[in-house]
C-alpha cells in the first residue's frame, strides 16, 4: 500500500478493531469503526498496516484565490484518486477520482454536501473531512502559482462563525515544507541554498507561536510562509527538504527565529533595529544575539552614519547578494511630488503608532524643508527619521513604516537601507529628493540571493550559509523534554545525516542517572554523571559512529517513576557550533 494519508495524518488500521486513526495536533484522534466502513460499501480495499507520521503535524489555513479571505461559505473538493468523505469520526461515502464534492454552509449552520449532478449526500453539523489515500486532494477553482491547487494529507472544513467556515490542510511538517521551499526561494538558486531555506522554513513552522486562528496554526500566504501545496513541488527542492529532514537551527537550547529576506544589500541588520516587540510593540525591540548586523565582506565598517551609508549604497562592492536585481536601486522625487505622496501615506502609517505626532486624514503637510535621519542600524538601515515642514515636524520610526511612507509610482521602497541626497532652493526648502538604496525586504537574517550565490557559485555547504547569517548557532534536531512519568518518558526523532558528526546533548539539571537510547533499532543504556554541579549538568555523548548516511531514527527513554518525576532536556547536535562561521 502506498503512502496512506501521509503528511499530517496518523493512519493506523489496527487488526484487532480495524479502526482508522487520523492525526491531530499532535494528532487528530479520528476513528472510523469497521461497521461504518462496511456501510460505506465503496471504501477502498486497503491492506491492514500501520503508518506512523515521520514528523510533527501542522494545520494550514487555505486562503481563497488571491488570498483575499480565509473564510468561505462554499467549496468544492475532489481527488486525483478515490476520496473518503467523513462526518466527524464517521466515514460517510467514497467518491471516484475527479468527482466534485460540493460543501455549502446553510442558514441553519449545517453543511449541505452534494455532487455536481445535484445528488444530496448528507447534511453535516460537525466537522467535514476528506482524505485521498492513493492520491492528492484538489480544491476546485483554486489555483496556486498558476496551477490547480492540490494537497497531501487531509482537508478539513470547520466552522469559523455562524455564516462561514475555514478550509484547513492537515499535513506533516516535512510534506508541508515541500510546498513551501520552492515558493519561498527559486530552485535555480541551487541545492545548498534550498537546504538552508528548508531549515529556516522548518524553524518557522516548528517555533511556538500564537495560532493564526483557533482552527489552524499558520496560513498559506506571506502572512506566514508561502505554501502552494503539492502542485508546485520541484525535484530539487524536494531533495533539499529530504536531505535536511528533522534539522533545525538552535541557539542556547532553543529554536531560533530564522528570519530571512530576499536581499540584504551586502550587510544584514540586527533584529532589534527592524522589528518592534510582538507583544508590547516597543521599538526598537529586544536584541536577538543570533540576529545581529553583519557585513558580507570582513572589514567593512558600520554604515550607521549618513556619509557611510551614502558612500556604500552609491557603490557596488563585492557581496554575496550582488546578483540580486535589488542589490542597488535609486528613487527620485520633486518636492511637490514627495509632499503629495507623504500627505497621502502618512495617515495610514500614523495608525501604526510609529509616526509622532499623529497625522490624520485631511491634515496638510506644508512645505517640505528637510529630511534628517536621526538613527541608523549598522547596515545603514534607517531606524528613525524626521520630516521638517513649515507647519511642523514628524518623526517616523521602523523600517517597514518608512518603506511604506516613501513610495514611488504607488510602490513602497524595496528596503529602508536608504541614503538621501537633498537639493534645496534659495529659500532653504527642498526642491529635489533622491535616495540611493540597497536590498529588498527587512534585511534581517538570511539573504536568499546571498545564500544562492554562496551555495551555487562558491560551493559553500548549507550549514555554513546558515552559520554566516545566524551568528553562533548550531544545527540539530528540535530540543525536547522527557519526564520519568508514564506516557511522557519517551521521544522519537527522525533526521537526515551526512556530516559524520553527531552528539547527543543533554541538560541533566535534575540529576537523572540513566537514559536508554535506541539508534536505528539498536539500544544501549547510557549512565549519566550523578553530580549536577558545574559542567556535570550538561552531558555530551558522541554517536557519530552509530549513525548511517541518510535517514536515522533515535528514541530516548527514561525509566517510569510516577512518584518521583524528573525531566531531562536534550537534542542531537548534527553540525558543530562555529562562532567564526569558517568563511573567512
What the chain holds in terms of domains, given with CATH numbers, is 11-176 (no CATH), 181-262+446-469 (no CATH), 289-444 (no CATH), 477-575 (2.60.120.260)
Three-state DSSP at 343 gives helix
| 144: number of Cβ within 10 Å | 24
Rounded to 5 degrees, φ, ψ at 7 are: 70, 90
Give the dihedral of Cα atoms 388, 389, 392, 397; nearest 10 deg.
Answer: -40
Per-position pLDDT tens, the chain of length 584: 333 333 333 332 222 222 233 333 332 333 333 333 332 333 333 322 334 566 789 999 999 999 999 999 999 999 999 999 998 778 889 999 999 999 999 988 899 999 998 889 988 888 999 999 999 999 999 999 999 999 999 999 999 999 999 999 999 999 999 999 999 999 999 999 999 999 999 999 999 877 889 999 999 999 999 999 999 999 999 999 999 999 999 999 999 999 999 999 999 999 999 999 988 899 999 999 999 999 999 899 999 999 999 999 999 999 999 999 999 999 999 999 999 999 999 999 999 999 999 999 999 999 999 999 999 999 999 999 999 999 999 999 999 999 999 999 999 999 999 999 999 999 999 999 999 999 999 999 999 999 999 999 999 999 999 999 999 999 999 999 999 999 899 999 999 998 889 999 999 999 898 999 999 989 989 888 765 555 678 999 999 999 999 999 999 999 888 778 899 999 999 998 876 654 54
| 422: number of Cβ within 10 Å | 16
Among residues 45, 134, 37, 18, the alpha carbon closest in space to that of 92 is found at 37
d(CA 168, CA 25): 13
d(CA 76, CA 256): 39
Q: Where are the alpha helices (DSSP H) in 53-179?
A: 173-178
Cα–Cα–Cα angle for 185, 380, 415, nearest 5°? 40
CA distances from 440 to 437, 490, 528 (A): 9, 44, 49
CA distances from 238 to 144, 181, 549 (A): 18, 8, 18
Give the dihedral of Cα atoms 343, 348, 350, 353; nearest 10 deg.
Answer: -170
What sign results for the dihedral spanned by CA atoms 178, 180, 185, 186? positive
Relative to beta strand 165-172, strand 154-159 is antiparallel
According to the model, what pLDDT value does residue 331 have? 98
178 contact partners, CB below 8 Å, separation of at least 6: 230, 233, 237, 238, 241
Number of alpha carbons in the 13 Å side-chain half-sphere of residue 407: 16
Q: How many residues does the chain have?
A: 584
Cell of 432: 529635489
d(CA 465, CA 452): 9
Listing DSSP states for 372-384 in one string gives: EEEEE-TT--EEE
Q: What is the DSSP letter of 95?
A: E
d(CA 388, CA 396): 11
| 438: number of Cβ within 10 Å | 32
According to the model, what pLDDT value does residue 279 have? 86
What sign results for the dihedral spanned by CA atoms 211, 213, 217, 218? negative
According to the model, what pLDDT value does residue 210 have? 76
Residue 106, judged by CB atoms within 10 A of its CB (0-12, 13-18, 19+), counts as exposed
d(CA 130, CA 124): 13
Cell of 30: 479520528
Cell of 206: 516548528
d(CA 131, CA 154): 5
Rounded to 5 degrees, φ, ψ at 543 are: -120, 20
Listing DSSP states for 246-273 in one string gives: T-EEEETTEE----EESB-TTEEB-GGG
Helix 191-206 × helix 235-242 angle, to 10°? 60
Longest CA–CA separation in the chain, Å: 91
CB 482 within 8 A of CB 568: yes
Amino acid at each position: 500500500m502506498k503512502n496512506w494519508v501521509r503528511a499530517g495524518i496518523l493512519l493506523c488500521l489496527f487488526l484487532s478493531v480495524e479502526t482508522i486513526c487520523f492525526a491531530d495536533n499532535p494528532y487528530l484522534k479520528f476513528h472510523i469503526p469497521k461497521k461504518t466502513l462496511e456501510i460505506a460499501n465503496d471504501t477502498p480495499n486497503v491492506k491492514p498496516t500501520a503508518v506512523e507520521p515521520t514528523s510533527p503535524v501542522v494545520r494550514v489555513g487555505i486562503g481563497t484565490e488571491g488570498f483575499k479571505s480565509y473564510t468561505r461559505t462554499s467549496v468544492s473538493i475532489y481527488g486525483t484518486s478515490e476520496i473518503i468523505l467523513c462526518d466527524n469520526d464517521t466515514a460517510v461515502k467514497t467518491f471516484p477520482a475527479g468527482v466534485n464534492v460540493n460543501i455549502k454552509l446553510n442558514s441553519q449552520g449545517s453543511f449541505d454536501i452534494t455532487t455536481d449532478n445535484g445528488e444530496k449526500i448528507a447534511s453535516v453539523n460537525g466537522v467535514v473531512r476528506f482524505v485521498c489515500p492513493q492520491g492528492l486532494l484538489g480544491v476546485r477553482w483554486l489555483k496556486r502559482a498558476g496551477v490547480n491547487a492540490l494537497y497531501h494529507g487531509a482537508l478539513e472544513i470547520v466552522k469559523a462563525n455562524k455564516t462561514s467556515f475555514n478550509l484547513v490542510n492537515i499535513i506533516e511538517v516535512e510534506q508541508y515544507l515541500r510546498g513551501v521551499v520552492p515558493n519561498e526561494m527559486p530552485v535555480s538558486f541551487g541545492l545548498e541554498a534550498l537546504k538552508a531555506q528548508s531549515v529556516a522554513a522548518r524553524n518557522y513552522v516548528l517555533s511556538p507561536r500564537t495560532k493564526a486562528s483557533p482552527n489552524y496554526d499558520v496560513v498559506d500566504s506571506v502572512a506566514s510562509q508561502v505554501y502552494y501545496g503539492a502542485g508546485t513541488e520541484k525535484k530539487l527542492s524536494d531533495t533539499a527538504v529530504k536531505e535536511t529532514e528533522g534539522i533545525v537551527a538552535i541557539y542556547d537550547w532553543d529554536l531560533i527565529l530564522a528570519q530571512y529576506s530576499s536581499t540584504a544589500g551586502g550587510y544584514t541588520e540586527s533584529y532589534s533595529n527592524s522589528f518592534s516587540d510582538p507583544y508590547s510593540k516597543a521599538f526598537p525591540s529586544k536584541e536577538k544575539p543570533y540576529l545581529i548586523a553583519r557585513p558580507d565582506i570582513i572589514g567593512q565598517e558600520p554604515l550607521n552614519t549618513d556619509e557611510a551609508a551614502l558612500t556604500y549604497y552609491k557603490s557596488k562592492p563585492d557581496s554575496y547578494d550582488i546578483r540580486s536585481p535589488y542589490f542597488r536601486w535609486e528613487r527620485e522625487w520633486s518636492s511637490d511630488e514627495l509632499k503629495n505622496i507623504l500627505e497621502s501615506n502618512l495617515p495610514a502609517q500614523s495608525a501604526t503608532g510609529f509616526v509622532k505626532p499623529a497625522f490624520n486624514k485631511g491634515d496638510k503637510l506644508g512645505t517640505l524643508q528637510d529630511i534628517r535621519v536621526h538613527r541608523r542600524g549598522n547596515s545603514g538601515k534607517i531606524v528613525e527619521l524626521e520630516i521638517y515642514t513649515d507647519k511642523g515636524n514628524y518623526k517616523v520610526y521602523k523600517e517597514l513604516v518608512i518603506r511604506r511612507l516613501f513610495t514611488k509610482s504607488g510602490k513602497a521602497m524595496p528596503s529602508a537601507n536608504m541614503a538621501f541626497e537633498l537639493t534645496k532652493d534659495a529659500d532653504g526648502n527642498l526642491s529635489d529628493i533622491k535616495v540611493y538604496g540597497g536590498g529588498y525586504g527587512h534585511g534581517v537574517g538570511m539573504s536568499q540571493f546571498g545564500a544562492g550565490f554562496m551555495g551555487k557559485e562558491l560551493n559553500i555547504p548549507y550549514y555554513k550559509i546558515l552559520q554566516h547569517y545566524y551568528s553562533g548557532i548550531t544545527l540539530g534536531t528540535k530540543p525536547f523534554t522527557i519526564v520519568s512519568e508514564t506516557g511522557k518518558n519517551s521521544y522519537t526523532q527522525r533526521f537526515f545525516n551526512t556530516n559524520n558528526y553527531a552528539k547527543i546533548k543533554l541538560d541533566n539539571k535534575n540529576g537523572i542517572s540513566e537514559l536508554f537510547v535506541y539508534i536505528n533499532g539498536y539500544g544501549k543504556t547510557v549512565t549519566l554523571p550523578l553530580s549536577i554541579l558545574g559542567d556535570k549538568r550538561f552531558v555530551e555523548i558522541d554517536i557519530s559512529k552509530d549513525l548511517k548516511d541518510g535517514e536515522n531514527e533515535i528514541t530516548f527513554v527514561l525509566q517510569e517513576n510516577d512518584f518521583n518525576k524528573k525531566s531531562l532536556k536534550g537534542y542531537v547536535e548534527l553540525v558543530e557550533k562555529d562562532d567564526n562561521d569558517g568563511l573567512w
